[in-house]
Amino acid sequence: MDKITRKTSFRQWFSPINLQLFEEQVKTLKLDFYTKKLTMESFLKLLLFAQLEEIESLHALSDCLFDDQLQKVFILIQSVFLSFHDD
């Protein structure tokens, strides 16, 4: 039986996403043009965190932003992002 971990879950979620195309679309559509801190990459990470942790609302998600657990999950997500760039 496979051991399901956060890292394997993120890899499964990211596998259908073409990150190169995603980055091109962000640049083409200038989705990060007017943002200062919440870029599309950060938004995607936040969205995946909310899905993984089953956050019930945007208010609850905003409460999690300063939580140490969120920082640990973002480090995990960043490692997954980097591993896809290496593939």
19-53 pLDDT, tens digit per residue, is 788 889 989 988 888 777 788 877 887 888 788 77
The enclosing H or E element of 41 equals helix 40-53
In a domain, 65, yes or no: yes
Which residue is it, tokens 């290496």?
A: 86
* Statement: residue 68 has pLDDT above 80: no
In a domain, 2, yes or no: no
Spatial contact of 10 and 76, defined as CB atoms under 8 Å apart: yes
Please give the tally of structural domains in the chain: 1
Range of the domain at 51: 37-87
In a domain, 28, yes or no: no
pLDDT for residue 84: 63
In a domain, 20, yes or no: no
Locate 18 and state its tokens: 């073409």
